[in-house]
Structure 1
Amino acid sequence: MPTLRSSVASILAVLSLVLLLHATATAAEPTQKPNVMFILADDMGYSDLGCYGGDIETPNLDNLAAGGLKFTNFYNTARCWPTRGALMTGYYAQQIHRDALPGLGGGGRGVRQKWARLLPDFLKPLGYRNYHSGKWHIDGKVLAAGFDRSLDMRNQGNFFSAKGNFLDDKPVTPAADESDYYATTAVADHAIDCLQEHADKYADQPFFHYVAFISPHFPLHALPEDIAKYRDDYLKGWDKMREERFARQQKLGLVNTTLSALEPDVGPPYAFPDAMKKLGPGEVNRPLPWTELTEEQRRFQATKMAIHAAMVDRMDQEIGRIVAQLKAMGAYENTLIFFASDNGASAEIMVRNGGHDPSAPMGSAASYLCLGPGFSSAANTPFRRHKTWVHEGGISTPLIVHWPAGIKAQGELRNTPGHVVDIVPTILETVGVEKPTAWEGEPIPPAPGKSLVPAFAADVTIDRDFLWWLHEGNRALRYGNWKLVAAKGDPWELYDLTVDRAESNNLAQQNPEKVQELEALWNQQLQSSIDLAK
């Protein structure tokens, strides 16, 4: 009979052989590139999601955050088209003609330089299929930018009609009966269709999918059943809502600051007096104390916020459908999902696209409503100001990052400052490709973005020189935890963001040398951007 020692030796030999064969087989298997999906909201405030302190039902995004990371200091550019240009290229929008520079122009109609390629051009050589569903607002046609399929939602004035949209760069013919059409659902329908086709025909290839919802951008259009969920929730007013959201944010550990004060003298960034007349006596264009509003005004404002909430809620529901499709096709575990907003909530009040019928139900196709500065301030809790400003309320966004196969951390916070210019280098490092140094013989200049990949593993601070903003005369620079900021025509303000992201305690007069130092850096970046954009 075999001895105990010989039996153990035999077992160990067998185990060694099994491990060797497993290691050999594993080494022979090709590394599977991750899929990447970037989901972008439009005009959504920092505190609108449940996982960022909000009161809106967003269980699908909350689940992604619980299974991944929440970045607390992530930034956009304060406006839709510069954010999208920066997101897809890795450059500040001013560097690529997608936001204005003094003496050079640029902006929503600006055309990028040939070297300012979009992300799909760098992913295609690795075999990636590239899909776009939703808002575009980048110069040029979508398929020419490297995407294989696209739904370009050019109709941004009526959530209940497909009229004016483009499919694969060709005009869409709307259905004769659009009674069941809603833009947010249509974005998800297209995204799911692309994913289903990918699973059927291209399962051996990875994909990049850019899902750009219009929600909750004005006009405030939502499905009646979604509005009904929130109809009376905001009659408590924006003051109380801000306090409640701020308390939840503190409990979640998202912020280390005071709550910003409402600014009753700061209204919409652009004045449209005629719109105020059309909207009637319920409209208010200043964030006045809630108790000073009439009963009619309180109901009107609360209903607008209910519609905004309904739009965010429906977007989350549609994201849930997209996630379900990823799971059904076996792609969920190895899909790196990002979620962010293109700017803060909007204080704008205007009437476009056929006008506003005051007799129509609020939130229906015949109405044209905007959130306005009262509830925009609440949506941007705890920060100050709104879309178009580069104070924290205009440029701060949630950033959720979820990737089960590549990120072990679950439900953790990441406090490093980051910016949409970081997304391209982050994705390129994740998929294992170096950005080329030239395009069709023309050099590609260095870009300002930094990879966020080190922060996937631990709460580290990404090393960078600074972050920089300029939009319609509003300007800012973040250097470490110092922030220099000024609204158009105003003097520089200086804030210590370690304790004051509410931008409540202006330290400029106490620290004139720091103001001068940071102003020099801001001007340096301005000149660098001008030189690159020429």
Structure 2
Amino acid sequence: MILLAAISFLWSSSPILQAKRPNIVFILADDAGYSDVSCYGGEIATPHLDALADGGLRFTQFYNTARCWPTRAALMTGFYAQQVHRDALPKLGGGGRGVRQSWAKLIPAYLKPHGYRSYHSGKWHIDGNVLDAGFDRSYRVNNQGNFFTDKGNLVDDVPVKVPADETGYYTTTATADHAIDCLKDHQTNFAEQPFFHYIAFISPHFPLHALPEDIERYRDRYLDGWDAMRAQRFAKQQQLGLLNTTLSALEPDVGPPYAFPEAIKELGPGEIDRPLPWDQLTEEQKRFQATKMAIHAAMVDRMDQEIGRVVEQLRAMGELDNTLLFYASDNGASAEIMIRNGGHDPHAEPGSAATYLCLGPGFSSACNTPFRRHKTWVHEGGISTPLIVHWPDGIADRGQLRHTPSHVIDILPTILDVTNIKIADGDDSQERPELPGKSLVAAFKDDVTVERDALWWLHDGNRAIRIDDWKLVAAQGEPWELYDMKTDRAESNNLVSKMPEKAEALEAQWNASLEQFSELVKKTSEKPNAKKQKSKR
């Protein structure tokens, strides 16, 4: 008994022993489609992500929230974004400018009391300042309109001083540079402590900006069009055993989620805002669209290269085996077409700083193969993401698939599980609801289904619920559709008229969750997170 007590004391008091808890790295892409990574069916070169998948696991039914800021809120708080004011509820507000309640803490707040240091590199898009949320260091990419300048970004919540000559700057590389610098500093000064690192690339979000040498590798790759690309990716997915479904049909009447007709005119005759059959496009349209896809591919390729550098740094530190590393995307590929920030120069080289191009619905559909719709919709194309999990010390069954439905709300419970950290009671414990997500640790060991009541979505009037293999979904202003996810994740065979009772039961559950979230927000809306206030730093 004395020996056990001594061991217990050492575990709780020794930084060295505490450091045996795994490091956590979460890498988040922005607007990457389900099949953009090679090991999920794509033709883009992603050898570093493929290697992580070979040494870890690929989840085939992992979900986000269909949009950037609600996904980041759900990921970092463990709650649905609607629960924490970060996505809108009917008549209750919330969204990209919503303010979290005081109990809606981010991941670092749970880890810091147990010796973890936390780092952030890349996009933020969460309310409040980064260091106030518990991070020790941050590189915040606020400038999402020009990949070739550091202007507008922040280091440790302080605006950067941009040098007169920024030649050689590229946001994706700068994000990895900061991450690597944090890791090197950690190894030098805090090696006895575990770390959490949140690396949020803005690639491949529009504007389509990429390095010329990266674009060159894909310049003529997509001239066969999105029809051929979808067929090729789907065939590869079938070969990989990823999915049991058909390939969804293109929807030529579904364009961008938000109309900017003036932008279409300004972009010229090569632009097209509908996914028409490729053979109906003019030669000018084919070249313009294929060039945009080449830039998108170049952005994904470069992100993979930078991820490789981060992984190599972890390996050089001797920490890769003891690091639980995740990769996912914040939503599906985007059908949006717009011109913002510095505008678009049609005479400039495509992909350069003077241009402002967006992928659009044709190749977005191909990037989301085999699913329907895009970012902002809660059909599978908008909410499905790869999830690669790599952890040599904790995952023995490597290179395998995991088919359990899962969601970004599951990441915090999973982290708490692997670190053996309990959510401590505090002054706000009476207000804080139970985390809605589930730990995925059981699925690390075997291809099991993690039991849960439901997964739920609402964004911009698009709504859905999934219970077991049944999904009820509706686009804004449209009636409910019912699909069997076991055989039809392409959402091709609407069963709502054949199974009205099933649809009604799922609708009732969707409404019950909506009411529950609304009551929570009403009860806690008078206590916004004080950390939203201007930092005193």
For Structure 1 versus Structure 2, the TM-score category normalised by the shorter chain is: over 0.9
CA separation of 1:505/1:385 partners in 2, compared to 1, >3 Å: closer, same or farther?
same
Instruction: Tell me if structure 1 keeps the 8 A contact 2:471–2:484.
Output: yes
TM-score (norm 2): 0.94
Decide which structure has the larger Cα Rg and report it: 1
Match of 1:104 in 2: 92
- Whole-Å separation in 1 of the counterparts to 2:426 and 2:381: 37
**2:319 matches 1:331:** yes
Amino acid paired to 2:441: V
Match of 1:20 in 2: none
Match of 2:54 in 1: 66
Amino acid paired to 1:36: I
Give the 5 Å matches for 1:220-259.
220-259=208-247
- Whole-Å separation in 2 of the counterparts to 1:87 and 1:166: 22
Which residue of 151, 158, 180 corresponds with 2:146? 158
Match of 2:6 in 1: none
Kindly state the Cα deviation for residue 174 of structure 1 after the two structures are TM-superposed. Answer: 1.1
Q: Secondary structure at the match of 1:81?
A: helix
Kindly state the Cα deviation for residue 428 of structure 1 after the two structures are TM-superposed. Answer: 0.6
Match of 1:407 in 2: 395
**2:328 matches 1:340:** yes
> Which stretch shifts more, 482-491 or 430-439?
430-439
- Whole-Å separation in 2 of the counterparts to 1:320 and 1:491: 45
Deviations 1:78-117 (A, max 9, x none): 0000000000011000000000000101000000000000
Match of 2:271 in 1: 283
Give the 5 Å matches for 1:163-312.
163-312=151-300
Match of 2:118 in 1: 130
> Which stretch shifts more, 443-452 or 227-236?
443-452
What are the ranges of 5 or more consecutive residues in structure 2 without an aligned counterpart?
Answer: 1-9, 523-537
Alpha-carbon RMSD across the aligned residues, in angstroms, is: 1.2
Amino acid paired to 2:124: W
List 4+ stretches of structure 1 deviating above 3 A: 28-31, 437-443
CA separation of 1:173/1:502 partners in 2, compared to 1, >3 Å: closer, same or farther?
same
Match of 1:432 in 2: 420
Which residue of 362, 365, 370 corresponds with 2:350? 362
**2:491 matches 1:507:** no
Match of 2:446 in 1: 458
Which residue of 501, 509, 520 corresponds with 1:521? 509
Q: Secondary structure at the match of 2:112?
A: helix
- Whole-Å separation in 1 of the counterparts to 2:126 and 2:401: 31
Kindly state the Cα deviation for residue 437 of structure 1 after the two structures are TM-superposed. Answer: 3.6
Q: How many residues align?
A: 509
**2:466 matches 1:483:** no
- Whole-Å separation in 1 of the counterparts to 2:385 and 2:429: 37
Which residue of 27, 30, 41 corresponds with 2:17? 30
- Whole-Å separation in 2 of the counterparts to 1:442 and 1:258: 47
Kindly state the Cα deviation for residue 44 of structure 1 after the two structures are TM-superposed. Answer: 0.1
Which residue of 90, 93, 96 corresponds with 2:81? 93
Q: Secondary structure at the match of 1:238?
A: helix
- Whole-Å separation in 2 of the counterparts to 1:453 and 1:339: 16
CA separation of 1:244/1:512 partners in 2, compared to 1, >3 Å: closer, same or farther?
same
**2:342 matches 1:373:** no
Q: Secondary structure at the match of 2:203?
A: coil
Amino acid paired to 2:453: D
- Whole-Å separation in 2 of the counterparts to 1:437 and 1:419: 25
Deviations 1:289-335 (A, max 9, x none): 00000000000000000000000000000000000100111111100
Instruction: Tell me if structure 2 keeps the 8 A contact 1:35–1:206.
Output: yes
- Whole-Å separation in 2 of the counterparts to 1:277 and 1:59: 38
Deviations 1:352-376 (A, max 9, x none): 0011000000000000000000000
Instruction: Tell me if structure 1 keeps the 8 A contact 2:103–2:429.
Output: no
Kindly state the Cα deviation for residue 533 of structure 1 after the two structures are TM-superposed. Answer: 1.2
Instruction: Tell me if structure 1 keeps the 8 A contact 2:31–2:330.
Output: yes
Q: Secondary structure at the match of 1:74?
A: strand
Which residue of 94, 106, 114 corresponds with 1:118? 106
What are the ranges of 5 or more consecutive residues in structure 1 without an aligned counterpart?
Answer: 1-24
Kindly state the Cα deviation for residue 30 of structure 1 after the two structures are TM-superposed. Answer: 3.3
Instruction: Tell me if structure 2 keeps the 8 A contact 1:385–1:392.
Output: yes
Kindly state the Cα deviation for residue 440 of structure 1 after the two structures are TM-superposed. Answer: 5.2
- Whole-Å separation in 2 of the counterparts to 1:426 and 1:175: 42
Q: Secondary structure at the match of 1:211?
A: strand
**2:407 matches 1:447:** no
- Whole-Å separation in 1 of the counterparts to 2:94 and 2:297: 34
TM-score (norm 1): 0.94
Amino acid paired to 2:179: A
Kindly state the Cα deviation for residue 277 of structure 1 after the two structures are TM-superposed. Answer: 1.1
